[in-house]
Amino acid sequence: MDHGPVWLTLLLATVTTVGLLLLGTPVAYWLARTKSRAKPVVEAVTALPLVLPPTVLGFYLLVALGPLSPVGGFWLELTGEALTFSFSGLVVASLIYSLPFMVQPLASAFEALGDGPFEAAASLRASPLAAFVHVAVPLSARGFLTAIVLTFTHTIGEFGVVLMVGGNIPGETRVVSIAIYEHVETLRYAEAHALSAGLVLFSFLVLVLVYALNRRFPPHVG
């Protein structure tokens, strides 16, 4: 069996999850704490990838990332490599289509904290940043666990956007879901079975791990 797609998939999911932790956490925190009137708009934008058909998302990403677009052109200038049909392009696409899976669990975890811990931290002379790092984050441990797992597994499972933006280039964009599709198309059911069963087992083990970890966090901790 060709292990290439498996490693590529794990790499893509890891990079996407780490990237979204860095990008999505501030967005989620802002959404949870803001009183701004722009909140519904930002909320809607971050939720769009949930409701759009992957083909719609993939189509616009293809247009936006193509070498003739400003973003794609700039990237081509900078790196000498096109964003479409490349691993980098897949990462950009994944960051966008997995965004809600990071932002939404985090935002609801932060929101569930209420004002109490923040006022308590402020009354103890902690700055808003210190309150975030030392109070909000540890108290939202469950939310982080959920967000990380959802983002990681959703990135592994995405098919439509990947196919449109990345195509099917071995070692570059050919992730597990694409490989399975190709195996089925070419009637190589044994290979399709191996990869599919692998995904089922992997997903099951991840979920068992999550529920086991969840029991370890006392309920009042996030």
Give the one residue of 27, 121, 164, 195 binding another protein; rule: CB under 8 A: 121
Residues 6+ apart with CB under 8 A from 217: 141, 142, 145
Residue 221 found at the interface with another protein (CB under 8 A):
yes
Using rule CB under 8 A, residue 93 touches another protein: no
Cβ 89 to another protein shortest distance, Å: 40
Neighbours of 124 (CB within 10 A): 10
Q: How many residues bind another protein (CB under 8 A)?
A: 23
Listed ranges 52-60, 83-91, 116-124, 204-212: which one lies at the site for another protein (CB under 8 A): 116-124
Cα 89 to Cα 81: distance, rounded to the nearest angstrom? 10
Rounded least distance, CB 113 to another protein, Å: 11
Is the CB of residue 178 less than 8 Å from the CB of residue 159? yes
DSSP-derived letter for residue 132 is: I
Stretch that binds another protein, among 41-49, 50-58, 96-104, 111-119 (CB under 8 A): 111-119
125 is a contact residue toward another protein (CB under 8 A): yes
**70 counts as binding another protein under rule CB under 8 A:** no
Cβ-based neighbour number of residue 147 at 10 Å = 26
Phi-psi region of 36 (alpha: psi -120 to 50; beta: other; left: phi over 0): beta
Enumerate binding residues for another protein (CB under 8 A).
115-117, 119-128, 130-131, 134-135, 138-139, 141, 218, 220-221
